[in-house]
């Protein structure tokens, strides 16, 4: 069914373009006309693919979670590496990507959380779920490290995972405003040298 | 000169109203008409007080820094308290205010940093300066604690201050999306129990 295939690829293109623009500019500041123009998709076809701008935003969040967060998380589940080395590899990969774009954009999920949590309850609920899923992924790796005796048995792994999530998202914001990855490196070092020690 | 006094109070009212609305909705999503309407100031007078929306935004950031950040920082300079108790009192006051508004709004400076750092170089530079000033305020208190032997002499107080700033701003974002102050309490506890130990 080539017609459906074309439709899906156009929809995917609009979502990818929306991810790029919204990561830079936020939800409210992203115009549908700008997304269509950058994607090279004719005006007027947007509502064939999405019910509304809100629907577009929610599908962007879902795609970002399913595609990008899931991709970054693969290293966290890579059982060929010891648990703490997986967290280090995950951090290093995000630092590498951040440096490759001069610390621009920041984290789409954190940006949309700041912007939308008080504005739109559907966005808030979906973002909240994704943040909690990330926290629990980190907690699972820390629990493995604990079982292997790599970190103290007294650490509450869910609280430590929440703490890491806070520090990491804060560091991405700080590096975005500094245009310097130093805050990411500081959080990496403090996390391994002082928090997990 | 009562005319100037009235002018200054109207300008201050517009800035205060702008702080409230921008903290909730961000810079781009805040309309000048909405600010004027909520402040009860006649339409058309905005450009008597501000050169542009950008000028309004920059004056909002400056006022927020000079008035609110400076107010919160007073406790950090309160020499009647030992240094670490000052940091604890500072954290507790922000948690109290956050809980009083059901963890809404978040930190205006972090929100604007996420939204504007890639969009407007004047905003980014100003926000960067304020973040660095906050980091250095925290570092100064940590250096006092170090001189008193309250924390290890091996701690790099500037890096620790950066780490705290990251974790704290991240926790404010997390509590905004959770609508729960737990992340703030976790960061408080981890900071004192594990990082400074």
Do residues A26 and B28 make contact, with C-beta atoms less than 8 angstroms apart? yes
Cβ contacts of A115 on chain B, cutoff 8 Å:
26, 29, 111, 114-115
Contact B111 A110 (CB under 8 A): no
CA-to-CA separations, B164 to A196, B4, B148, in angstroms, rounded: 16, 42, 20
Chain A positions in Cβ-Cβ contact with residue B166 (cut-off 8 Å): 166-168, 170-171, 173-174, 183, 186-187
| pLDDT for position B6 | 54
Instruction: Please tell me which residue, B3 or B80, carries the higher pLDDT value.
Output: B80
The contact set of B with A (CB < 8 A) is 24-26, 28-29, 104-106, 110-111, 113-115, 117-119, 124, 127-128, 131, 159-160, 162-163, 165-171, 173-174, 176-179, 182-183, 186-187, 189-190, 194-195
3-state per-residue secondary structure call for A79-99: CCCCHHHHHHHHHHHHHHHHH
Residue A150 makes CB contacts below 8 A (sequence gap 6+) with A82, A83, A84, A196
Across the A:B interface, residue pairs with CB atoms under 8 Å apart total 157
Chain B residue numbers touching A151 (CB-CB < 8 A): none
User: Which of A86, A118, A110, A128 lies closest to A169 in space, CA to CA?
Assistant: A110
* pLDDT digits 0-9 by tens, A90-135: 999 999 999 999 999 999 999 999 999 999 999 999 999 999 999 9
Taking 50 as the threshold, does the pLDDT of residue B3 lie above it? no
- Is the per-residue pLDDT at B1 higher than 60? no
Inform me whether the pLDDT recorded for B4 exceeds 90: no
Residue in the structure block whose two tokens are 């115009």: A31
Supply the pLDDT for residue A6: 54
**pLDDT of B21 over the 70 cut:** yes
Question: Which pLDDT belongs to residue B2?
Answer: 45
Q: How many CA atoms lie within 13 A of B179 on its CB side?
A: 13
- Chain segment A153-173, per-residue pLDDT in tens: 999 999 999 999 999 999 999
CA A93 to chain centre: 13
Look up the ipTM and state it.
0.93
């Amino acid at each position: 069914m080539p017609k459906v295939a074309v439709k899906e690829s156009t929809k995917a293109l609009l979502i990818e373009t929306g991810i790029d623009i919204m990561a830079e500019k936020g939800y409210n500041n992203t115009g549908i006309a700008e997304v269509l123009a950058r994607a090279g998709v004719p005006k007027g076809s947007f509502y064939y693919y999405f019910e509304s701008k809100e629907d577009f935003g929610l599908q962007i969040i879902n795609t970002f979670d399913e595609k990008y967060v899931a991709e970054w998380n693969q290293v966290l589940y890579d059982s060929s590496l010891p648990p703490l080395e997986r967290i280090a590899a995950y951090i290093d990969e995000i630092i590498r990507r951040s440096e490759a774009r001069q610390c621009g954009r920041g984290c789409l999920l954190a940006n949309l959380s700041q912007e939308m949590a008080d504005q739109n309850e559907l966005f808030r609920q979906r973002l909240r779920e994704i943040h909690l899923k990330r926290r629990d992924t980190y907690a699972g790796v820390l629990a493995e490290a604990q079982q292997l005796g790599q970190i103290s048995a007294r650490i509450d792994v869910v609280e430590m995972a929440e703490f890491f999530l806070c520090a990491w998202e804060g560091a991405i914001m700080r590096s975005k405003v500094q245009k310097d990855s130093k805050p990411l490196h500081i959080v990496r070092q403090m996390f391994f040298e002082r928090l997990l020690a």
